[in-house]
Amino acid sequence: MDRSARARGCAAALAGAVVLAGCSGKSENAGRAGNAGPASVRTSAPVSGAGSDLQQQYVKVVDAVLPSVVKIQTDQGEGSGVVFDAQGDIVTNAHVVAGAKKIQVTSSGGGSPANASMVGAFAADDLAVIKVGGVSLKPASWGESGKAQVGQIVLAMGNPLGLSGSVTNGIVSALHRTVSTKGEGAFQGSTIADAIQTSADINPGNSGGALVTLDGQVIGIPTAAASDPQIGAAAPGIGFATPSDTVKRIVPQLIESGKVSNSGRAALGVVVRTIVDPQTGRRSAVAVVEVEKGGGAAKAGIRPGDLILSVNGVATPDQTALTTVLADLRPGQTVKVELQRPDGSKKQVQVTLGQLPGG
């Protein structure tokens, strides 16, 4: 989220770039252009051919899907949501509604805001579900993100900068990205595995909206946009979406119980904190604060006070690095964990990963 144009946001890192969650604290208020004098109007014959066919497909997809994309306003800021089912359940990003005491939903077609209640959130994947009653909303059609292809045309639908029902276009730029966002306020941060990278513009307020194929299928939830750390400004054409396959696994659990019992995410079974060198300010490792009884770490002999230097051969200088490594692993896998004991000695242990709890 661009800090100059939002009420809340999440900083993140991906391959050295700063990734910003697309929430907005701005209201819908675009400036008017100055009055112009009389303009000449030229007419021409309708354009036909491949370009015209593509344009008509864009129009068709927007007409079909945009009614399923809503504007979310909270006492913390603004964002977007996608209608999940006919019972009024709406998917959004966890950071959009984290800590909110009041949530209201407005359809893309406008009208009066409807009050919404929190159903549940799973911060690890930056997903949340809210619910509205007494309002007729059209559920979206959810596709399979696992079938997405690089180069595939997509549209991003949401409410950037508070501008309801906005649509941008682009392509799937890359697949299987791992994107970590830092916590802010009531949001603890997330690490999204298998994120879809897209060139479709994702701006503050797009968070929680829809990334849609030309078949009208939602394959992702726009979550973050990148910025260039060297200039501190947005990096055009680099955005990330939580994949629909993750949405379809997590959201039904939130709807059923408000919690996630089957996250599909790997966990060591420890509570950790980042160690910072007081002399250099550099992060060097993560220290184990607590060990879950009966978990993988406990069975491998990891103890409070140990430093975790690497997992599966990847250095873990901080909690974000550790979470990123684990996001690409699965429960049940056995991995090597390099430790440093309080006495300075180093040791490698084999840990069978458990499942990250949620809710």
pLDDT band at 25 (very low <50, low <70, confident <90, very high): very low
Q: For residue 40, how far is the Cα from the chain centroid? A: 46
pTM, full prediction: 0.80
d(CA 181, CA 192): 8
The C-alpha atoms of residue 325 and residue 268 are separated, in whole angstroms, by 11
Among the listed residues 95, 201, 227, 244, the single catalytic one is 95
- The answer to whether the CB of 284 falls within 8 A of the CB of 310 is no
Q: What share of the chain is helix, strand, coil (3-state, %, to 5)?
A: 15, 45, 40
Q: Which of 199, 207, 227, 263 is catalytic?
A: 207
What average pLDDT score do residues 317-340 get? 93
340 phi, psi to nearest 5 deg: -125, 120
**DSSP letter for each residue of 78-130:** EEEEEE-STTSEEEE-HHHHTT-S-EEEEETTEEEEEEEEEEEEEGGGTEEEE
Domains of the chain, by residue range, sit at: 56-261, 266-355
The whole-number average pLDDT for the span 118-127 is: 95
Smallest CA-to-CA distance from 124 within 253, 252, 250 is with: 250
245 has catalytic annotation: no
Q: Looking at domain 266-355, which CATH architecture does it have? A: Roll (2.30)
Residue 28 has pLDDT above 70, yes or no: no
Reply yes or no on domain 56-261 having CATH 1.10.260.40.
no
> Are 56-261 and 266-355 the same fold in CATH?
no
Assess whether 40 carries a catalytic annotation: no
Instruction: Identify whether 199 is a catalytic site residue.
Output: no
| Interatomic CA distance for residues 260 and 254, integer angstroms | 6
> Catalytic pick from 125, 126, 306, 318?
126
Sign of the Cα torsion 237, 175, 243, 188 reads negative
Q: What is the pLDDT of residues 267-308, one digit of tens each?
A: 999 999 998 877 777 887 899 999 999 999 999 999 999 999
Is residue 278 exposed (0-12), middle (13-18) or buried (19+ Cβ within 10 Å)? exposed
